[in-house]
């Protein structure tokens, strides 16, 4: 197993090209199941999670060619509707094949997704959306068995305890595009990744309106065609590097990044003493002064502050001047990174789903363990800030969502390298 070694105290300066968005790519790859015609998708990041989705599509009988950052998918000889436990249990986003399989084949057998360290992640809203379209669903031996002779459009309220759900909206949308008549999804997710999926479906010939608003309207069609498409850039990767630039007192140009996808983060960075400039082909980010000011954040669904940047933002405020309060409203237990940051000399106290971060003068390098994708990115930022050496084990978590992170960071002055454990 690999670990990453980070020698801190270096300012990041230079240019980083932002990759395609993992969380747009995964449901878009699943959506290719809605047609037998060839689909070509560009700007696909080379990530472990993308490879897992490719394996699932191949196990469902698709022919997949994956070269550089382009994937070509076409219907293979066999038709299969079972997404197996071995694959689905390694990646929750695999659940996104459920809607497309039912829409295309009228049946699906998908393993119930496994647990997740960031919190309880039920799929009740996914099942609610599909059942409202007339899909018969029951759980047997750890599998979701779903079938529908004919799906019928419906009015569906999809809001949950924590607000809208990204993948539940995606699954219901991907089924509704081939259901008879009109479907209205209320409290739909508004994330840019969901809009990208809707644009992909529109280009395939679907009829959808209201993207980016809580009310999605879909008119079912009989057939969808194969297309060529380019995935949006990754706003969470962008946000991670924006935070790393300010945390190290450096200055980065993030090529291809879109500020409009990160307005909540931008707002907080300006408050903490950052400078963010939008350029035609990217974002420039640096720190205004010596000190980082404390901030309070509450994670919310889009366009609120993203939960996927909560841990990385926490790393930044560990060295701010004063007390910051971070409240997690989406995954109330998403704080596994706290004990590792405290191991590096941070001063963080947890009160239920709120972390109180008392800024310290400096962090010191230490051996730490990654627990999930975004927590590992937070430990990289902490390692860049800290004096001395930080060794991050279990970096396979990082490889799920960050393309070439150590190459990108080394190119802008970081001392970061991978070693076999
Ligand atoms: C997407 O997951 C992202 N993953 C997650 O990013 C991200 O954290 C999450 O949205 C929230 O922004 C992908 O897009 C592949 P949700 P998703 O359903 O769709 C509750 C990363 O780091 N809920 O929007 O699975 C749920 O428990 C990953 O890249 C229900 O109660 O998340 C959570 O509290 C981690 N019932 C809230 O809704 C349901 O049926 C939001 O989850 C579904 C969700």
Query: Which tens digit of pLDDT belongs to each residue from 135-184?
Result: 999 999 999 999 999 999 999 999 999 999 999 999 999 999 999 999 99
Beta carbons within 8 Å of 319's beta carbon, 6+ residues apart: 247, 292, 359, 360, 361, 362, 363, 385
Beta carbons within 8 Å of 256's beta carbon, 6+ residues apart: 17, 18, 233, 281, 282
- Give the residue among 225, 373, 401, 231 at the shortest CA–CA distance from 312: 373
Query: Which residue, judged by its Cα, is nearest atom 10 of ligand 1?
Result: 166
Largest separation between any pair of C-alpha atoms in the chain: 64
Does pLDDT of 79 surpass 70? no
Strand stretches in 317-404, DSSP E: 323-327, 347-351, 354-358, 367-369, 389-393
The dihedral sign for the CA sequence 101, 49, 77, 67 = positive
Model confidence band, residue 77 (pLDDT cutoffs 50, 70, 90)? low
Q: What is the pLDDT of residue 117?
A: 83
pLDDT digits (tens, 9 = 90+) for 176-213: 999 999 999 999 999 999 999 999 999 999 999 999 99
Residues forming beta bridges with residue 364, ordered by sequence position: 387
- Give the residue among 367, 340, 99, 89 at the shortest CA–CA distance from 220: 99
Q: How many Å lie between the centroid of ligand 1 and the Cα of residue 323? A: 29
- Nearest atom (ligand 1) to Cα of 26: 15
Which among 21, 22, 23, 27 is the best mutation to test ligand 1's pocket, defined by most ligand atoms within 8 Å of the CB? 23
Query: Which residue, judged by its Cα, is nearest atom 3 of ligand 1?
Result: 23
Beta carbons within 8 Å of 215's beta carbon, 6+ residues apart: 184, 185, 186, 188
- Give the residue among 147, 213, 155, 214 at the shortest CA–CA distance from 182: 155
DSSP class of residue 149? Answer: S
Check if 25 is active-site: no
Query: Which residue, judged by its Cα, is nearest atom 16 of ligand 1?
Result: 165
* Average pLDDT along the chain: 96
- Nearest atom (ligand 1) to Cα of 189: 24
pLDDT digits (tens, 9 = 90+) for 233-262: 999 999 999 999 999 999 999 999 999 999
Q: What is the pLDDT of residue 344?
A: 98
Query: Which residue, judged by its Cα, is nearest atom 4 of ligand 1?
Result: 23
Q: In angstroms, how far is CA 33 from the centroid of its own chain?
A: 21
C-alpha 190/C-alpha 192 separation (Å) is 7
- Nearest atom (ligand 1) to Cα of 120: 27
What's the first-to-final CA gap in the chain, in angstroms? 5
Choice among 55, 81, 116, 286 that is catalytic: 116
Q: How many Å lie between the centroid of ligand 1 and the Cα of residue 309? A: 13
Question: Beta strand 389-393 with 367-369: parallel, antiparallel or unpaired?
Answer: parallel
* Phi, psi dihedral angles at 407 (to 5 degrees): -65, -45
Q: How many Å lie between the centroid of ligand 1 and the Cα of residue 358? A: 29
- Nearest atom (ligand 1) to Cα of 96: 15
3: enclosing H helix or E strand: strand 2-7
Q: Under a CB-based contact definition with an 8 Å cutoff, are residues 232 and 24 in contact? A: yes
Pocket (CB within 6 angstroms of ligand 1): 23, 26, 92-93, 120-126, 160-162, 165-168, 193, 307-308, 330-331, 373-374, 401
């Amino acid at each position: 197993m690999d670990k990453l070694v980070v020698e801190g105290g270096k300012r990041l300066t230079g240019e980083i090209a932002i990759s395609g968005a993992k969380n747009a790519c995964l449901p878009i790859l699943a959506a290719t199941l809605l047609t037998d015609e060839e689909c070509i998708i560009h700007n696909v990041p080379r990530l472990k999670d993308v490879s897992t989705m490719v394996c699932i599509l191949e196990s469902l009988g698709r022919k997949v060619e994956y070269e550089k950052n382009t994937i070509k998918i076409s219907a293979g000889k066999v038709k299969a509707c079972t997404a197996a436990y071995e694959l689905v249990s390694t990646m929750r986003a695999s659940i996104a094949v459920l809607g497309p399989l039912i829409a295309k084949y009228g049946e699906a057998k998908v393993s119930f997704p496994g647990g997740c360290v960031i919190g309880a992640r039920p799929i009740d809203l996914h099942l609610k959306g599909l059942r409202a379209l007339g899909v018969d669903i029951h759980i047997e031996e750890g599998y979701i068995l779903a079938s529908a002779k004919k799906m019928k459009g419906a009015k569906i309220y999809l809001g949950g305890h924590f607000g809208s759900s990204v993948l539940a909206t995606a699954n219901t949308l991907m089924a509704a595009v081939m259901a008879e008549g009109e479907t209205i999804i209320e409290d739909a997710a508004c994330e840019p990744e969901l809009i990208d999926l809707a644009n992909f479906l529109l280009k395939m010939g679907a009829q959808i309106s209201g993207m980016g608003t809580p009310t999605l309207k879909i008119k079912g069609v009989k057939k969808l065609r194969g297309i060529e498409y380019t995935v949006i850039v990754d706003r969470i990767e962008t946000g991670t590097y924006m935070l790393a630039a300010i945390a190290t007192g450096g200055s980065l140009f993030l090529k291809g990044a879109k500020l409009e996808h990160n307005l909540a983060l931008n707002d907080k960075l300006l408050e903490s003493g950052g400078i963010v400039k939008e350029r035609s082909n990217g974002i420039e980010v640096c720190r205004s002064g010596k000190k980082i000011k404390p901030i309070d954040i509450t994670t919310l669904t889009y366009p609120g502050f993203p939960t996927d940047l909560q841990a990385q933002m926490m790393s930044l405020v560990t060295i701010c001047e004063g007390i910051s309060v971070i409240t997690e409203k989406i995954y109330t237990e998403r704080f596994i990174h706290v004990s590792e940051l405290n191991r590096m000399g941070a001063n963080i106290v947890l009160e239920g789903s709120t972390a109180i971060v008392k800024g310290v003068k400096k962090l010191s390098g230490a051996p730490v363990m990654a627990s999930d994708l975004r927590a590992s990115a937070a430990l990289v930022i902490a390692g860049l800030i800290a004096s001395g050496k930080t060794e991050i084990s279990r970096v396979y978590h990082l490889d799920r969502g960050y393309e070439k992170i150590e190459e990108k960071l080394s190119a802008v002055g970081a001392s970061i390298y991978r070693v076999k454990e």
